[in-house]
Structures are given as structure tokens and as C-alpha cells.
Amino acid sequence: MKRILSLITILAMSFTVATAAEPINFDAKTIDSEFEQLNKIEKFVQNNEGTTLDNLKSQNSELLTDINIEADTASAVASSDLPAGIPAFWWGCVLSWIGLILVYVLTDKDSAQTKKALLGCLVGAGVWVIYYVLVVSISIF
């Protein structure tokens, strides 16, 4: 049984490494074309001091056609406040209750981020329970 468990572990780790080692392919021309409109808006704002996004929206500017700009950036700002930019879910998932406490303290009691860390903590605990059940059931047989 130990050989089967070792084989399963080696296969799982090799698939994980193979998946993580895949190169990220991107087309620079596509990315440049996507950011072309944003670059135009940036140049316009730099040339016209005092212009804001709200001013452009109220004027129904041609610069804003086909652009969806989110005004709610609180979630992005909150996750970047965490050390190393690691999302709250992963702090809870990997470090369990310690990660939960760290997120609670580091985000100044931000309830949304703390809930994400709690969810990560629960998912991590669930993974460990499933792993333990599988190891015990394989070692018994």
C-alpha cells in the first residue's frame, strides 16, 4: 500500500509541476492595441490639466467609447495592502487560523477580507481532512 500511495503522490506532484512550468504566451501587438485607447485618455488628461474621468463621462467624450472603467477599486486596493500582494484567501488557506488573524490585523479589521481569509481557512481544513481520510483508508487496506 505504501508503494501505491507513493506512486499516487509522485504522479500528483509531477502533474502539478508540469502544469506550473507551462510558459505564458501572449501577443505584444494584441496587448498594445488593447491599451491604445487608455494611452489616448492618459495623454488627453496630461495635456488638459484639471480634467478628471468624471468630466470626460459628463461630456460623453469619444475617448471613453468601448471602455468599461470600474469605479469600485476597493477590493484591488485592499488585496494590495496585504504583504507580498497575496490575497486574503491564500493567507487563510495556507496559514490557517494564523493567516486569518494576520489578515484581520493587517487590513484594520476589514470584514470582507477577513471573510475571504476565513473561507480560505475552511477550504484548507477541508483539503487536510480529505487528505487524511484518503491516507488512512489506503493505509488500512
Can you give the residue ranges of every domain in the chain? 34-64, 83-141
Contact assessment for residue 117 and residue 89, using Cβ atoms and an 8 Å cutoff: yes
Q: Which pTM value belongs to this model?
A: 0.44
How high is the pLDDT of residue 123?
Answer: 92
How high is the pLDDT of residue 12?
Answer: 67
pLDDT of residue 4 exceeding 80: no
Could you tell me which of 35, 93, 140, 59 has the C-alpha nearest to residue 102?
A: 93
How high is the pLDDT of residue 118?
Answer: 92
Of residues 29 and 22, the one with the higher pLDDT is 29
pLDDT of residue 20 exceeding 60: no
Of residues 136 and 73, the one with the higher pLDDT is 136
Assigned C-alpha cell, 17: 509541476
